[in-house]
Structure 1
Amino acid sequence: MAPRWITFIALLWELQWCVCREVTLPAGPLYRVAGFSLSLPCAVSGYEGPRTQEFEWYLYRDDAGGRQIAVVSTRDAGFPYAPFQGRVQAGEVRVERDSGDKARLIIQRLRADDQGRYECYTPSTDTRFLGNYSSSVEVKVIPDTLLITHSRILSGQPVSEGTELQLTCAASVQSHQHTHVSVTFGVRSSGGAESQGHNLREIIAIDRELRVTPGHSGGYGKRYRDGEIAVEKRKGDGARDLYVMKVNALAPEDSGSYFCEAVQWIRDPDGKWERIAQRTMELGNLTVQPLVDTLSVRSVPDGDVSLQPGAPLSLTCQVTGVGAWNRSALLVQWMRRGPTGGVEVEVSRVGPDGVVTWGDDVSRAGGGSMEKEADGKFSLRLFSVHPTDAGLYRCAVSVYAGRLAPGPSSPATITQRSEWVTVSLKTDDVRVSASVDLPRRPLLRRGSTITMLCNVSVETSASSQVEVQWLQKPEEPARKDVTFSEDATAQLLATLSYDGLTRIYSNASDLSVDRVSATSYRLRIFSAREEDQGHYQCQVEVWSQDPRGGWYNTGARAESETVHLYLYARVADLLLIPLVVGVSSALFVGVLIIATVTCCFMKRLARQRSRIRK
C-alpha cells in the first residue's frame, strides 16, 4: 500500500513543477507597412497570482547595438523612454487588453525606425521563479507602395432609374515581399457625415484570392446572382491592375457617395492573412431619380374625339422620362372600356420583343395597326370605326428598367397609365321591331313541315340590313321574371346574317332559314318531332353601311314575343290504338272459345269411357 501512495505523491510533485509561466507572441518575422498600424497580441499562461497580469513592452532596434528601449507598460505611466514618451501620451502607442492575461501592443502609425525586435515582458506574480517571463518577435517595417487611382469621378448629376453605372479603379503595389491586393467597391448612403459609418454598404469585391464576393447587405447577393452587378480584374498600363464594377440597372436605393477601397495583405508565418495597408478613393456622389418621379405617359389627342361611322381613328401614346431608350424594355398597351364604364379590356399591345398582339376581336375585325413610330411614341390606328368601337381609351406603359429582354413572368419596375380619351360616334337613330307568326292552319302534326315567319320593321335614314336569330325553349313551365334571351335553357337554332350567310346550330330536326321578302324571314322545321315542341322567338340586330362601304352593327336590336308550338298526333298514330285493342280482343275471345270447347269435349269423352268399362 505504501508504494502506491509514494507514487501518487511523486506524480503530484512532478505536475506541480510542470505548471510554469509562459509568455507567447506570434511567430516572426512580421512584415508591416510604414504609416499603418501594428497590432502585437501577447498572452501569459501558467501563472500564479491575480487574473489581471501586467505587461511591459521593449524594443531592440537593429541599429542600436542591442540596446533596450522601453515602449509602454500597463502599470507605469513613466515607463516609456524618450523616443516613445510623446507618442504614448498622445495615445498613438498604447496597450489594449483583450482579457486579464491577454493584451496587445498598438502602434497606430508605424515609422521606419520602429523596425526591430519587440519583447513582451510580464512581471512575476508567482511564489517561485519558473518558466519564461518574456517573449519577442521580429517586426520588419516595409515602405508604403500601395497606389489607387480612378478613371473618372461621378458628376453628381441625377440619373434615371435603370441607367447603367460603370466605375473603374486602378491599384498597384511594389513590394519585395509576397503580398496580395483586394479591391472593394462600396457606397455611403446620403444622410450626413455623422451617419456615414452606419450607412456604408459594400457592393462587390475581388478578394485577396481573386474571388468575387458581393456585399452582404442591400440585396447585393441576389443582384449578383441575377447578373445585375459584376466586377472584373483587367490588366492596365505598367504594373497597374484595373478593377471594373458594373451595375446594369441603377435603383433609387443606389443613391449615395461611391468609393473604391484597395487593401494589401500578407500571410504571416502562422498562416494567417493580415491587412497591412489600405487606401480609399472617393468616386463622387450619385443621385438616382425614381421612375415614378420622371415617367410621364400621355395620350394624344386628349379629351374627346367624335367621328362618323367608317372614319379612321388614330391615337398616340407619348412616353417620356424613361432615361436611355437602349437601356429599358417597354410594354405598351391600349385599353378600352364602355362609354358608361364597365370592364376594361385590352385592345392591343406591343411587347418588349416588338411583337404586336390584339386582345379585342371587335377592334381587330374592323382592321387596325399598332406600331412604334419613334422612341417614346406608340400609335394605335383603327381603319374604320363602328359604334362598338366607341368608349374610353387610354394607354398603359410598363417599364422594365435596365432590362432589354425581361422574362414572361418578370415584374415591371413601374406601370403608369394615361388619362382617358373619350371616343364617340355620330350615328343615325335606328328603330327596329320584330314579331313572329306561326300559321296554325292546317292542323300542325308530327312529321309535317312547320313554318314560322319573323316580320321585321326598321326605321333609319341609312342603308341597312338585319341579322335574324331563331331561338327555342323546350316545353316546360316558363318563368315570368326572366326574359327569353336570358334563359339558360334557350337554344340558338339558326342565324341568317346581314350578308345572307346561314348558320344552322345543333338541333335534332332538319332546319332551314331564308328571307322571303324585304321584311319577312322564315324558319322551316322539316319532319317535326315531339322534341321540337316548345316556345320560339326571333331576335333581330340592325347593321348599317358606312361611307366606305363597310358594314357595322348599329347596336339596335329587337326581340319578338314568343309563340308556342304544339304538335298533334298523325292519323296513322290515332288508328294504331284501336287496331291494337281490336286485335287483342279478338285473340282473347278466340282463345276463350277454343278453351271452352276443348274443356266440354274432354268431359264428354271421359263420361263415355266410364260407361264402356261398366
Structure 2
Amino acid sequence: MRTAMASMKTLFPCLLWGLQCVLCRDVFLPPGTLYRVAGFPLSLPCAVSGYDGPRTQDFEWFLIRDDAEGRQMGVVSTRDEGFPYAPFQARVKSGEVRVERDSGDKVRLVIQRLRADDQGKYECYTPSTDTTYQGNYSTTVPVKVIPDTLQISFSRSLSGQPVPEGAELTLTCSAGIQSEQLTHLSVTFGKRGEAGEASESGVGVREVISIDKLLAVVPGPAYRKRYEDGEITLEKRNGEAGVDVYVMKMRAVRPPDTGAYFCEASQWIRDPDRSWQKIAQRTLDIGNLTVQRLAESLSITSSPKGEVTLQVGSPLILTCEVLGLPSEVSSGLLVQWTKKGSESGGVAGSGGVEVLTHLNSSCLQGATQNMCVNAQVPSHSETLFFMLCYVKVEVARMSPNGVVSWGDDLSRASGGSMEKVAEGRYSLKLFSARPLDSGVYRCVVSVYAGERNPGVSTPATLTQRSEGVTVNLKSKDVLVAAVAHLPRGPLLKRGSTITLICNATVTTTGPAQAQVQWLRWPIPERGGKKIPSPAFDVTLPDPSVQKRPILVAALMYDGVAKIYTNGSEVSVERLSAGSYRLRVHAATMEDQGVYVCHAQAFGQDPHGGWYNTGAKAESNAVTVYLYARAADLVLIPLVIGVSSSLFVGIVIIATVTCCFMKRLARQRAIK
C-alpha cells in the first residue's frame, strides 16, 4: 500500500509536467541546412504555437554569421524599429530586408537580395506574453549562400516584322547552371499578351510551354489542346559547358499568338523537408511577334465572269484561282464547286434557269439538305400541292491530298473532271452540259494554314467563296402532258388489285423519254380543300394538315422500275410508247387515297447521254376507294356474339347485300 502511494506521488508531478509541456510555447522554422543563391530572395517562415496572451505575436530575427564566433546580430523586429544592427539598418529602411506577416502567429523574414555575408545561422525569437516562462521561445536554421551560376541566352530574337498566319515559329533559348549543390533547372517559354494590348487591357503573362525541374514537358493551360495535337513542341538539346539548348516550335501561328515572347530559366533545390524551392530565376525577352491574318490577303476568283450561255451537250469549263496565299506557308486547300438555282427565280420551260428540282423521294421524306417548301405549280389540268426543293448542292470537291469526289449527282464522276492545273489554280469540267446543270456556280476554298495534310477533325483556318458564275443552257422546247385514269371494272374491295393508267406524252425534237412517278395522298377528311377542274371536282388534303404525299413507285426513263412502299405488293410497267400502268396487288385500306401521276421529260444529248430537260407535268387526281367485302358484312354480327335465333335474318341481309353489290357492278360495267 505504501509502495502504491509512493508511485502515485511520483506519477502526479510527471503528468502535471507533461500537461504543461503540451500547452507550452513552441517556435518553428524549416529544418536546415538551407541553400540559397546570392542576389536572389530568401524567405524564411516562422510560426509560434502554445502561447498565452494576444493572438498577434511579435517576432525578432537574429543572425549569427559563420565568422562571428557566436555573436548575435539583430536583423529586424516587428516591435522595435531601432532593433536592426548597423549592417541591416539601411536595408531594413529601404524594405530590402523586412518581415511579412501571414497571420497573427505566422511571419516570414524576407531578404530581397541575398549577399554572401548574409550566410549564417538565423534565429527567430518570440518575446514572451505568457503568464509563466515555459517552452521554447526561439529556434534557429543554418542558411548557406551559394554563388549565382544561372546562365540564359538566345541565338536569334524576333524581328517584329509581321509573320503570316500559318507560318512556323521557332524560338531557341540556352540555359545552364554549374553548382556544387544538387540543383535542378526548368525552362519556360511564355508570352505577355498581344502587341500593344498589355498596358491597355491588362492582358497577363501566359505560359506557353515549359520543361519543369523533373524534365517533364508541361504546356500552359491555354495551349494544352495544341500541344496534344502536336502543334506545339519543346525539345532539349545537349550543349557545351553545361549549357543546354531548348527549342520551342509552333507548327502554325495564329492571330492570338501575337505578343511579346520571353524565355525564363529557374534554378530549384530540394530542402531537407522534401519541398522544392525556387532559388534563382532569370527572364530574357526574345522579341515581339505580330501575326498577319490570312483574311487580309486571301481572295478567291472564278472565271469566266458573270454569265455564261451554252447549248445543251456543250462542255462547261470553270476555273477557280486562289490568290494571296503566303509563299512561305505550306497550307492545305479544300476546293469545292457548289451550285444553286438562279437568283432570277426562273422556272424550267419558261426560258429562265431552273430553280426547282424534280420531285424525288428524298425531298418527300424531308431527308434532303436543301430547303423544302410548299408550292403551287400550274399543270395543264389543275393546281396540285406538293413539295419542291430549292437546290444548293455540292458539284465536286478536291481534298488537300488531291482526292476528287463528286457531290449529289454521282453520274458526273464519269461525265466530268476536276483538276489542279497550277499552284492555286483549279478547273471544273463537265463534258456534256445538261439543263439541270444550269444555276449559279461558286468556288469555295477552305485553307488549312500550316497544315499540308490536315486531319478529318481539323478545323479550317479560313473559308472563302468566289463570286457566282451564272450558267444558262439553251435547251429544245419540250412539252409534257400527263393524264391519269382508273380503268372501268368491278368495284374495288379490300384484297382487289388497284390498276391505274397514266398517259404521258413528250413533245420535242430529237429522242426523248418520259419518267413517271406515282404519288398518293390519304383520302381527305372533312375540311379538305376542293380544287376545281374543267372536268370534275377533286378534294385534296388540306396542306396545313398533310404536307407531303407518299411516293408509291416510279418507272425511270431507262426502264428501271422503283418501288418505294413497304406495304402491299406494287408493280409498274410501260404498256406502250406513252402509256404507263401502276398496279397495287391485294390492296389494303392503307392503299386507298388520291393518286397523282408525275411525268418528267428526259432528252438525249449529242454524245448519247440522257439528261433531265426540266420539263414536267402533273396529271389529274384519281380517288381510289375500297369497299367492304360481303364476307366482312356477314362476319360482323357473328363477331359481336348475336344469338343463333337471328340466323335467318342474317342470311336474308347477306343475300340482299350480295345481290345489291352485283347489280352495282353490272351498272358500272355498262357505263
Summarize the Cα distance change of 1:432–1:510 in structure 2 as closer, same or farther, 3 Å threshold: closer
SS in 2 for 1:83: helix
The answer to whether residue 471 in structure 2 is matched with residue 466 in structure 1 is: no
- Identify which of 443, 467, 483 aligns with 1:419: 467
Residue 480 of structure 1 aligns with which residue? 538
Match of 2:603 in 1: 543
| SS of residue in 1 equivalent to 2:190 | strand
- What's the CA shift for 1:540? 7.1
Give the whole-Å Cα distance in 2 for the aligned partners of 1:524 and 1:86.
Answer: 111
Matching residue of 2:371? none
Residue pair 1:366, 1:385 contacting (<8 A) in 2 also:
no
**Alignment match, 1:202:** 207
Residue 244 of structure 1 and its aligned partner are, at CA, apart by 1.9
- What is the aligned partner in structure 2 of residue 266 from structure 1? 269
The whole-number CA distance in structure 2 between the counterparts of 1:412 and 1:345 is 20
State which of 305, 308, 311 in structure 1 corresponds to 2:311: 308
SS in 2 for 1:270: coil
Distance in structure 1 (CA, Å) of the matches to 2:95 and 2:484 = 113
2:484 touches 2:619 (CA, 8 Å); kept in 1? no
What is the distance in 2 between the residues matched to 1:322 and 1:276?
A: 48
Displacement, 1:255? Answer: 1.9
> Aligned equivalents of 2:14 and 2:174: distance in 1?
65
Superposed displacement of residue 325, structure 1: 7.6
State the match for 1:353 in structure 2: 401
The amino acid that maps onto 1:69 is M
Distance of 1:196 and 1:107 partners within structure 2: 33
Deviation at 1:285, TM superposition (A): 1.4
Measure how far apart 1:510 and its partner are: 11
**Quick one: distance in 2 between partners of 1:489 and 1:70?**
99
RMSD, aligned CA: 4.5
What are the equivalent positions in structure 2 for 1:321-332 lying under 5 Å apart?
321-323=324-326, 327-332=330-335
Aligned to 1:103: 107
Partner amino acid for 1:466? A
Would the aligned equivalents of 2:267 and 2:278 in 1 still touch at CA under 8 Å?
A: yes
8 Å CA contact 1:115–1:139 kept in 2: the answer is yes
Q: In percent, how many aligned pairs have the same letter?
A: 55
Cα drift, residue 64 of structure 1: 3.6
Query: 1:510–1:353: structure 2 CA closer, same or farther, 3 Å change rule?
Result: closer
**CA 153–32 in structure 1, closer or farther in 2 if over 3 Å, else same:** same
Shift of 1:271: 1.8
Aligned-partner Cα distance in 1 for 2:72–2:596:
122
- The structural deviation recorded for 1:172 is 0.6
Shift of 1:205: 1.4
Aligned to 2:43: 39
1:76 counterpart SS class: coil
Counterpart AA for 1:250: V
Read off the aligned partner of 1:306 and give its amino acid letter: T
Task: Give the AA of the match of 2:601.
Answer: E
Partner amino acid, structure 2, of 1:130: Q
* 8 Å contact from structure 2 (residues 561, 572) kept in 1: no
2:238 and 2:439 map into 1 onto residues whose CA distance is 63
**Normalization by structure 2: what TM-score?**
0.68
C-alpha distance 425-117 of structure 1, shift in aligned 2 (>3 A): same
Equivalent-residue separation in structure 2 for 1:99 and 1:558 (angstroms): 90
- Partner Cα distance (2:28, 2:458) in 1: 59
| Stretch of structure 1 that moved more, 309-318 or 26-35 | 309-318
Task: Show the counterpart of 1:608.
Answer: none
In structure 1, the partner of 2:125 is 121
Tell me which moved more, 117-126 or 463-472. Answer: 463-472
Contact 2:538 2:621 in 1 (8 A): no
Question: Aligned partners of 1:155 and 1:362: how far apart in 2?
Answer: 52
Find out whether 1:187 has 2:191 as its counterpart.
Answer: yes
2:290 — aligned with what? 287
Alignment partner, residue 179 of structure 2: 175
Unaligned runs of 5+ in 2: 346-354, 356-389, 491-500, 524-535, 542-546, 564-568, 588-593, 624-671
**What is the distance in 2 between the residues matched to 1:508 and 1:37?**
91
The number of residues matched between the two structures is 538
CA distance in 2 between partners of 1:254 and 1:103 (Å): 41
1:485-528 per-position Cα deviation (integer Å, ceiling 9, x unaligned): x9968976867x6xxx65577899997766xxxxxx47699xxx
8 Å CA contact 1:37, 1:108 repeated in 2: yes
- Deviation of 1:359 after TM superposition, in Å, equals 1.2
Does the CA-based 8 Å contact 2:504-2:514 persist in structure 1?
no
- Asked whether the equivalents of residues 479 and 615 of structure 2 are also in contact (C-alpha less than 8 Å), the reply is yes
- SS of the residue corresponding to residue 63 of structure 1 reads coil
CA distance in 1 between counterparts of 2:396 and 2:465 reads: 15
Aligned residue runs from structure 1 range 83-482, under 5 A: 83-190=87-194, 192=197, 194=199, 199-216=204-221, 218=222, 220-323=223-326, 327-339=330-342, 340=345, 341=355, 342-361=390-409, 364=412, 367-428=415-476, 430=477, 432=479, 458=507, 464-468=510-514, 480=538
Asked whether the equivalents of residues 366 and 382 of structure 1 are also in contact (C-alpha less than 8 Å), the reply is no
**Cα distance in structure 1, aligned partners of 2:572 and 2:474:** 43
- Deviation per residue, 1:524-563 (Å, 9 max, x gap): 99xxx999xx9998957363654x6766554445678899
1:52 — aligned with what? 56
- Answer whether contact 2:167 2:329 (CA < 8 A) is retained: no
Aligned partners of 1:509 and 1:97: how far apart in 2? 94
Q: Distance in 1 between matches of 2:275 and 2:586?
A: 99
1:101 positional shift: 2.5
Indicate if the aligned counterparts of 2:553 and 2:572 stay in contact, CA closer than 8 A: no
Shift of 1:316: 1.9
SS at match of 1:480: strand
SS of aligned partner of 1:287: strand
Q: Deviations over 1:411-436 (max 9, x none)?
A: 434332222111112345x2546699
- Cα distance in 2 for partners of 1:135, 1:437 equals 109
The range that moved more, 57-66 or 330-339, is 57-66
Aligned partners of 1:188 and 1:196 also within 8 Å: no
Q: Distance in 1 between matches of 2:463 and 2:306?
A: 22
Cα separation, 2, equivalents of 1:86 and 1:369? 85
SS of 2:171's equivalent in the other structure is: strand
After superposition, give the CA deviation of every residue in 1:297-316 in whole Å (9 maximum; x if it has no partner). 22223321222333322212
**2:132 & 2:308 partners in 1: Cα distance?**
107
Amino acid at match of 2:208: I
Q: Distance in 2 between matches of 1:222 and 1:509?
A: 58
Question: Partners in 2 of 1:46 and 1:490 — Cα distance?
Answer: 90
**C-alpha spacing 1:555/1:270, structure 2 compared with 1 (3 Å):** closer
> What is the alpha-carbon distance in structure 2 between the residues aligned to residue 410 and residue 303 of structure 1?
34
1:266-305 per-position Cα deviation (integer Å, ceiling 9, x unaligned): 1122222111100111121122344444443222233212
Native 8 Å contact 1:329 1:401 kept in 2: yes
Q: Which has the larger radius of gyration?
A: 1
Are the aligned partners of 2:35 and 2:144 in contact in 1 as well (CA < 8 Å)?
yes
Structure 1 residue 167: Cα displacement: 1.6
Q: Is the 8 A contact 2:167 2:328 kept in 1?
A: no
What CA distance in whole angstroms lies between the structure 1 residues aligned with 2:621 and 2:72?
Answer: 123
Q: SS in structure 1 opposite 2:13? A: helix
Which AA in structure 2 matches 1:541? A
Equivalent AA in structure 1 for residue 435 of structure 2: P
